[in-house]
């Protein structure tokens, strides 16, 4: 049985060294309480995407322990593990030869749901992400806008009813207005459904707005971890202050316009 008080994800002293000696992730420990959104942030090459892929074993850790719902992922079948965890990637990752309906129905299909149950749930998910099934189910990804495609991407990740979703820069390819509304809708969905999420983003403002917890990474290691308020009030180093400076300066600039 799943203990609601236990963390969904418990990462302990995890490292990843590639053949050739490059250390992408060094001695990372993190815990994700149920229902929260954790943002992994830092500059390109800091190891945040690699860390994300260690969780659903798209990459295998070289050392340490990752517990998902209390189970060591290294002991689990990677395919089964990935079907239990939602996966959203940059630029949607939809299959261009499948319709919206078929893209969303993939995971229920992999999980062996009945056709009736799949159809009903897919329609529900599409409605939930703001794409009424009647209008969108039979369209192909190429017939949708970027924002619509990303919505389908969310519906696909949620279709297997996972309690954890992993997201790699899910909003970075969208225009600012679409991004803003999708960020809000995602938080509403999360509040409604109660799943947990880990999101990789290089955009500190996005992390501050959306996340319950933020982990700042540099050279594969975590520099600081805490709530957005923790970070803003007590940045642990000059590097972290530097990352926070960009959103702060933008905020000041807007305020000075006096609107």
Partner 1 sequence: MNANLAERLAELPHLLSAHVILSMTALVCGIAVSVPLGIVAAQRPGLSAVTLNIASVIQTIPGLALLALMVPLLGGMIGFWPAFLALLLYSLLPILRNTIVGLQGIEPNLREAARGIGMTDAQRLWQVELPLALPVIVAGLRTATVWVVGAATLATPVGAASLGNYIFAGLQTRNWLSVLFGCLFAAGLAIVLDQAIRWLEVAARDRRRGLALGVGAFLVVLIGASILPRYVSLAGEAGPSNQIEASAAPGIAGETVVVGAKSYTEQYILAALMQRRLESAGARGERLDNLGSTIAFDAVRTGEIDVYVDFTGTIWATVMNRPEPVERHLMFTQMSAWLWEEHGILTLGRLGYENAYGFAMRRDRAEALGVDSLDDLAPIAGELEIGGDPEVFARAEWTATRDAYALGPMRTRSMDSTFMYTAVRDGQVDVITAYTTDGRIAAFDLAVLDDPLAVLPPYDAVILLSPQAARRPGLADALAPLIGAIDATLMREANRRVDMDGQTPAQAAAWLDGVISE
Distance, CA of 21 to CA of 35 (rounded, Å): 36
Which is closer to partner 1, CB of 80 or CB of 181? 80
Considering the complex, what minimum distance in angstroms separates the CB of residue 118 from partner 1? 15
In the region spanning residues 172 to 201, those forming contacts with partner 1, defined by CB under 8 A, are none
In the region spanning residues 138 to 157, those forming contacts with partner 1, defined by CB under 8 A, are 156-157
Let me know how many helices (H) and strands (E) the chain has, helices first.
10, 10
Which is closer to partner 1, CB of 31 or CB of 81? 81
Which is closer to partner 1, CB of 158 or CB of 216? 158
Q: How would you classify the pairing of strands 213-218 and 221-226?
A: antiparallel
Which is closer to partner 1, CB of 98 or CB of 232? 98
DSSP code of residue 239 = H
Cα 16 to Cα 103, 153, 189, 205, 220, distances in angstroms: 32, 28, 33, 28, 9
DSSP code of residue 227 = -
> 3-state class of 144 per DSSP?
coil
| Listed residue (121, 130, 165, 160) closest to 148, CA to CA | 130
Which listed residue (65, 67, 110, 236) binds partner 1 by CB under 8 A? 110
Q: Which two tokens stand for residue 24?
A: 């992408």
Instruction: Check binding of 113 to partner 1 (CB under 8 A).
Output: no
In the region spanning residues 217 to 256, those forming contacts with partner 1, defined by CB under 8 A, are none
DSSP code of residue 35 = T
- Binding segment for partner 1 (CB under 8 A), chosen from 29-37, 90-98, 203-211, 238-246, is 90-98
Which listed residue (94, 129, 204, 210) binds partner 1 by CB under 8 A? 94
Instruction: Check binding of 96 to partner 1 (CB under 8 A).
Output: yes
Instruction: Tell me the site size for partner 1, rule CB under 8 A.
Output: 22
Please state, as a whole number, how many other Cβ atoms lie within 10 Å of the Cβ of residue 45. Answer: 13
Which is closer to partner 1, CB of 85 or CB of 216? 85
The contact set with partner 1 (CB under 8 A) reads: 56, 58, 79-84, 87, 89, 91, 93-97, 106-107, 110, 156-157, 166
């Amino acid at each position: 049985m799943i203990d609601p008080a236990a963390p969904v994800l418990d990462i302990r002293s995890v490292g990843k060294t590639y053949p050739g000696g490059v250390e992408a992730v060094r001695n990372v420990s993190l815990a994700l309480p149920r229902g929260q959104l954790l943002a992994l942030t830092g500059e390109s090459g800091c190891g945040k995407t690699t860390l994300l892929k260690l969780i659903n074993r798209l990459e295998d850790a070289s050392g340490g322990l990752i517990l998902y719902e209390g189970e060591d992922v290294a002991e689990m079948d990677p395919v089964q593990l990935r079907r239990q965890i939602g996966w959203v990637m940059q630029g949607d990752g939809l299959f261009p030869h499948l319709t919206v309906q078929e893209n969303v129905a993939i995971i229920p299909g992999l999980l062996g749901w009945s056709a009736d149950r799949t159809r009903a749930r897919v329609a529900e998910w599409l409605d939930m992400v703001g794409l009424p099934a009647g209008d969108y189910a039979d369209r192909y990804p190429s017939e949708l806008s970027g924002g619509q495609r990303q919505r389908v991407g969310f519906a696909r990740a949620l279709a297997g009813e996972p309690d954890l979703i992993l997201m790699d820069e899910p909003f970075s390819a969208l225009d600012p207005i679409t991004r803003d509304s999708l960020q809000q809708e995602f938080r509403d969905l999360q509040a409604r459904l109660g799943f947990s999420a880990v999101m990789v983003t290089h955009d500190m403002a996005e992390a501050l707005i959306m996340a319950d917890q933020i982990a700042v990474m540099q050279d594969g290691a975590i520099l600081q971890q805490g709530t957005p308020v923790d970070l803003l009030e007590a940045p642990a180093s000059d590097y972290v202050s530097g990352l926070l400076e960009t959103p702060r300066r933008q905020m000041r600039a807007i305020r000075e316009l006096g609107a």
